[in-house]
Chain A
């Protein structure tokens, strides 16, 4: 199983993703430079966190014009699982592969801490090993992670089960206090209509070793492997 980890100028979680995939899951993971024009060789595409092009304009607004994004768009249409984490989520929104936008955190500060997430949909390639309502503890680290979309889009997301994760408290309750950045309806991660593109602000690759505080993020990568097995068979 081959993972592509996209590398934009300014990506800074690319090494973490590569190491996690290789060392914790033993899969082949390759860094793909943003000027590449094909991602056809890969089974899963990961768009890692960081500050692509410095994020001096809107986050992800320049990265979405990188040559590799054309190939990513094609792959998305073919049903290849695409995981966008943090800046990757922002890039996917800018690229129009996911609806809505990520704006400045409610508190205007960058926030780095562990948060609790409630898994809302386990019928996806990213979450098939989990159960709905399961609580995961995964870190966030962003300054512009407040998810926003208009009511119509939000209703559609909910209706189609495309809200993958919500911020919750330790008991799984969806409360305003548990929402670290002011995201509408506590949304932490969403899916596209086909269910093969997931964007989320929390960093699952930072939660794959218990010595780092949590290994709940393993669920996402393990699910991807599980779903690949079924695709092959």
Chain B
């Protein structure tokens, strides 16, 4: 098959700018051929190289005393959790594929993140997900499309996670206009391993054989990384072939086989084939190992005949791994992969010349310095643009509303409503570890491998939710490529704020009473809330005290209408977030210039969890020990004058604990999102938090 000639049109179609093409010519000392151009296009796509966002991502604190593998260093970060045990975890978005083909897009998102974890040598033990969809309930064609996306994404996650046997123990789902037709799908996976079991994705040992293991390569997901880096448009539907198709059963076998192989000690390096498939795995392992790699594509197991080198290299078929094996240990690979009925092939060798050399039937079809592909990717410092935060609303202008009317409406809004419909489709109980499962502030998982309890939560501060405690605050808004992101001072949720205002007006301490009525009594008398929900209803007399402090105002934004409904759980959440927001302000007053763009808030209850326990809010600063912020929070134990907060907060216990011990340990990722219909954009910084939990603190 004759390869197309390299014309300016072909170059542009690969998303390579004329300047980048000149750079490629300089690296190679000649014009690239079609295959090489394809390799550069995926490796230098935003998805693989972070060419636009890297300068921003570098601002994250990534080191700490417990960090064994840093963010960006390998397929996933690894943190010490004591006693020789470690956790590997990562979160990754799969937004574009899910927008085009929700079921497979979400399923392969889960598959990809699981591979990233067991590539590190860890046994994956649970999943979380963070989802964003457009409105689903106003009866418009858009809402119907959003429902289809919601149903598809949820069943895709369920399909993959349930089949592979990993519990989805938590997550979050929000609905907002911003995400209409353009959902966000973030999947998180955590695994446990011994320190000495950490596997590296480096091609070490010149002459070592390079094995291809796992599913055969097909034409699915061709150049998916490049697709994912483009803007989502109406024409994106035609990119459906760029979405991969997942096979969780194969991945389950691959997982077991790879962990068995890693345990055998035969592995010198291992890397999954995710984005940019064989291309990325070969050049990244070579580059990390400081070596070259020489592989023959004719040896790669293929699903169909007649695939060109370009297609084989750029295919993103799922459930594949690249394994560099110690010389002489080849038989171990054969033995294990035959046991698990998985394809495998010895496709090449590690070389010492630093060149990624790709052959087809022995003839060289691409020859590129490996390090140039990974390290010399262009980096763009995009200019920041001004972002005007929405004007805060004077709480006085919010019309008072009858809480008995407002609360049920809040409770039934999709964003605030109970998400049982979603999480009951996930097998959250497999592996027998979900001590606190979905529907809570954080999941608590008993990792039987190491006998430790792990708490985990994922939280996005998308513009739609604007959860103050997850704010990623860059010093100035920035422009990433053509995408304007405003990662700045997104303070309050209009939805939350409404509930806040309602609570304020409705639940203020009744005049003439010296103590607060019990929330249960109050709710029962005025709210007519079903009894089983009472235990979850929030109680917020502290709002009054916050209001009086000029440095910690409770900000309230307007909403065009009162959202209809919320679950008590969510009301509680919103209350806490507003509280955290106030603490942000308090902290700013103390220390006006943040030392780092990253802040994380955690909520810590008193030692003995009970329905009436008070709580503390602590903030993580990258270096200094965490200051306790609010006067309310400073000494929760001493506060005996009555219930400060009525809610089940105990699950968050460990989060603060964790952050304080592991400054900067969070692995953050920026996910800029474009609105389909306009040139405005909303950012979503999704944060996640994992920590050790004390069994005694779990209710």
Contacts and interface: CB of A to CB of B under 8 A. Distances in A.
Interface of A: 9-10, 12-13, 15-16, 19-20, 49-51, 53-56, 109-113, 139, 141, 143, 203, 205-206, 209, 211-212
B367 interface: no
Q: Which 9 A-B pairs have the closest CB atoms?
A: A12-B165, A54-B249, A51-B163, A141-B427, A16-B432, A112-B427, A110-B425, A206-B429, A110-B158
B249 A53 contact: yes
Contacts of A113: 424
B434 A212 contact: yes
Nearest to A113: B424
B698 A211 contact: yes
Interface in B601-620: none
A51 B248 contact: yes
A172 to B, nearest CB: 20
B248 A20 contact: no
Interface in B205-242: none
Nearest to B158: A110
A143 B158 CA distance: 10
Contacts, number: 81
B429 A139 contact: yes
B98 interface: no
A9 B340 contact: yes
5 contacts: A12-B430, A50-B165, A54-B163, A112-B423, A139-B429
B164 to A, nearest CB: 7
Interface in B548-595: none
B431 A16 contact: yes
Contacts of A139: 429
Interface centre among A19, A56, A143, A203 (most CB of B within 10 A): A143
| Chain A interface main SS type | mixed
B249 A51 contact: yes
A201 to B, nearest CB: 13
A112 B432 contact: no
A232 B670 CA distance: 64
B249 A10 contact: yes
A19 B449 CA distance: 10
Contacts of B89: none
Contacts of A55: 163, 249
B432 A141 contact: no
Contact of B446 (A13, A111, A112, A211): A211
Given A54-B163, A112-B424, A212-B435, A13 B248 contact: no
B318 to A, nearest CB: 13
A9 B249 contact: yes
A46 to B, nearest CB: 14
A206 B165 contact: no
B431 A9 contact: no
Contact of B249 (A56, A203, A205, A206): A56
B432 A212 contact: yes
A69 to B, nearest CB: 17
Interface centre among B341, B428, B432, B448 (most CB of A within 10 A): B432
A148 B34 CA distance: 57
Interface centre among B247, B249, B427, B430 (most CB of A within 10 A): B427
Contact of A110 (B165, B249, B427, B698): B427
Nearest to B446: A211
Interface string B247-272: 11110110000000000000000000
B426 interface: yes
Contacts of A112: 423-429
B253 A203 contact: no
Given A12-B252, A112-B424, A112-B427, A51 B162 contact: yes
Nearest to B248: A54
A53 B431 CA distance: 19
Given A49-B430, A141-B430, A211-B435, 6 more contacts: A10-B253, A50-B165, A54-B250, A55-B163, A110-B158, A112-B426
Contacts of B446: 211
B249 A15 contact: no
Given A205-B432, A212-B435, A141 B425 contact: no
A141 B162 contact: yes
A185 B41 CA distance: 60
Given A9-B341, A112-B426, A19 B432 contact: yes
Contacts of B434: 212
Contacts of B431: 15-16
Contacts of A20: 432
B249 A19 contact: no
Interface string B431-449: 1101100000000001010
A9 to B, nearest CB: 6
Contacts of B427: 110, 112, 141
A113 B423 CA distance: 9
A49 B162 CA distance: 11
Interface string B328-367: 0000000000001100000000000000000000000000
Nearest to A23: B448
Contacts of B698: 211
Given A51-B162, A54-B163, A141-B162, A10 B429 contact: no
Contacts of B430: 12-13, 16, 49, 141, 206
A49 B158 CA distance: 16
Interface string B679-692: 00000000000000
Interface string B11-55: 000000000000000000000000000000000000000000000
Given A141-B429, A203-B429, A10 B252 contact: yes
Contacts of A15: 431
Interface centre among B163, B165, B429, B698 (most CB of A within 10 A): B429
Contacts of A211: 435, 446, 695, 698
B432 A9 contact: no
A24 B257 CA distance: 28
Contacts of A10: 163, 249, 252-253
A104 B76 CA distance: 37
Nearest to B428: A112
Nearest to A19: B448
Interface centre among B158, B165, B423, B698 (most CB of A within 10 A): B165
A109 B248 CA distance: 18
A19 B432 CA distance: 9
A111 B424 contact: yes
Interface centre among A12, A20, A206 (most CB of B within 10 A): A12
Nearest to B154: A109
Contacts of B250: 54
Contacts of A13: 165, 430
A32 to B, nearest CB: 14
Contacts of B448: 19
B300 to A, nearest CB: 23
Contacts of A209: 432
A113 B434 CA distance: 12
Interface string B84-99: 0000000000000000
A9 B162 contact: no
Contacts of A12: 163-165, 252, 430
A9 B253 contact: yes
Nearest to B423: A112
B162 A110 contact: yes
Contacts of B253: 9-10
A209 to B, nearest CB: 8
Nearest to B435: A211
Nearest to B433: A212
A97 to B, nearest CB: 24
Nearest to A52: B249
A125 B339 CA distance: 35
Contacts of B432: 16, 19-20, 205-206, 209, 212
A53 B248 CA distance: 10
B661 to A, nearest CB: 25
B117 to A, nearest CB: 16
B552 to A, nearest CB: 38
B592 to A, nearest CB: 46
A16 B695 CA distance: 20
